[in-house]
Each structure stands twice: as structure tokens, then as C-alpha cells.
């Protein structure tokens, strides 16, 4: 690593420690030429991931959009923000583990719904009503019956 002050290529690492919840390594360095100290950060370079929307548009994956949807679905529900952040992070990890450069938005929505169903059923129905674009009460009722049917099977 070149010294940002004198350009000397000979620098040594004095201290390394994880930062940003372990996703980054912070290194404290000292220049062998001028003796000045500086900090560098090392992180994994992520491949760009694109989401293919229902209308065919493509946009960069943004975990914040998932989190925003989860926060709306869980409004006035007893679900901590940290839990929602972990859920969004888990969905991103699963999507990135597919090793695909483009992922359909429906795949992401299904992953979110599967996790949300286990977390909070009211939030699940709220999310599903937007995600599945319920246009009438009948579709809403069908989703509720499906959810209730699963509860009965799990209770048996």
C-alpha cells in the first residue's frame, strides 16, 4: 500500500481489526519512508446484482428497499428493527448465494414472505396484500384462509 503523504510503497501494518460488523477490516499503517501513520479499509468487492421487475425493467439490488417494505408491514407490531434488518440481510445473502447476476423481483418477494410468515402473521398479510397486488376482498380472504390452513396443519 503506497503512503498517501510521500508515495513510498513500503508501509507496514501496525494494527488490524474488524469494522462495520465484521464486513470490513480496518488497518492502521506506518510509512517506512516518512514515518507518518494512516488508516486503510479493506472490504470484499461485491458483484453488482440486478433485480428484474415485473415489467421487465432492471435496477440495482437495494437491501434498503426490502427493509422499507418490512418496516411498513410491521408498523405498530411488536417486531424490533434489528430483527427486520437481520431478515433483510438474510434475504440478500440468499439472493447473492444464487450466484446469478439478475434475480426476478418475485424471487425476492417470495423469500421475504416466507421469512415474514414465521415472524409475524399480521405483517405477513400486510406485505402479501401489496406484494401480491390484492385487487379485491376475495383475494385477501383466500390468502387468509391459506394462512389459517397452514396453522391448523402445524398444530396437528
Q: Say how far apart CA 133 and CA 48 lie, in whole Å.
A: 28
Query: What pTM was estimated for this model as a whole?
Result: 0.64
Which value, to the nearest 10 degrees, does the dihedral of the CA atoms of residues 113, 119, 121, 122 take?
-100
Q: Say how far apart CA 109 and CA 127 lie, in whole Å.
A: 9
The whole-number pLDDT of residue 156 equals: 55
The whole-number pLDDT of residue 154 equals: 66
Mean confidence (pLDDT) of the chain: 89
The whole-number pLDDT of residue 33 equals: 95
Which residues in the chain show pLDDT less than 70? Answer: 135-136, 150-156
Q: Say how far apart CA 27 and CA 25 lie, in whole Å.
A: 6
Residue-wise pLDDT tens digits, 82-107: 999 999 999 999 999 988 999 999 99
Which value, to the nearest 10 degrees, does the dihedral of the CA atoms of residues 111, 141, 132, 93 take?
-10
DSSP states along 117-148: HHH-HHHHHHHHHHHTT--SHHHHHHHHHHHH
The answer to whether the CB of 62 falls within 8 A of the CB of 92 is no
Please state the domain extents for the chain. 11-43, 50-155
Amino acid at each position: 500500500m503506497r503512503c498517501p503523504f510521500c508515495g513510498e510503497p513500503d508501509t507496514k501494518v501496525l494494527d488490524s481489526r474488524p469494522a462495520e460488523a465484521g464486513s470490513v477490516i480496518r488497518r492502521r499503517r506506518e510509512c517506512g519512508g516518512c514515518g507518518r501513520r494512516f488508516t486503510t479499509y479493506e472490504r470484499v468487492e461485491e458483484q453488482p446484482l440486478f433485480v428484474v421487475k415485473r415489467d421487465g425493467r432492471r435496477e440495482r439490488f437495494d437491501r434498503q428497499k426490502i427493509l422499507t417494505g418490512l418496516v411498513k408491514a410491521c408498523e405498530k407490531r411488536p417486531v424490533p428493527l434489528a430483527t427486520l434488518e437481520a431478515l433483510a440481510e438474510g434475504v440478500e445473502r440468499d439472493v447473492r448465494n444464487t450466484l446469478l447476476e439478475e434475480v426476478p423481483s418475485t424471487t425476492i418477494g417470495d423469500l421475504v414472505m416466507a421469512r415474514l410468515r414465521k415472524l409475524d402473521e399480521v405483517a405477513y398479510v400486510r406485505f402479501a396484500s401489496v406484494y401480491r397486488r390484492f385487487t379485491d376482498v376475495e383475494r385477501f380472504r383466500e390468502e387468509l384462509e391459506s394462512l389459517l390452513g397452514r396453522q391448523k396443519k402445524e398444530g396437528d
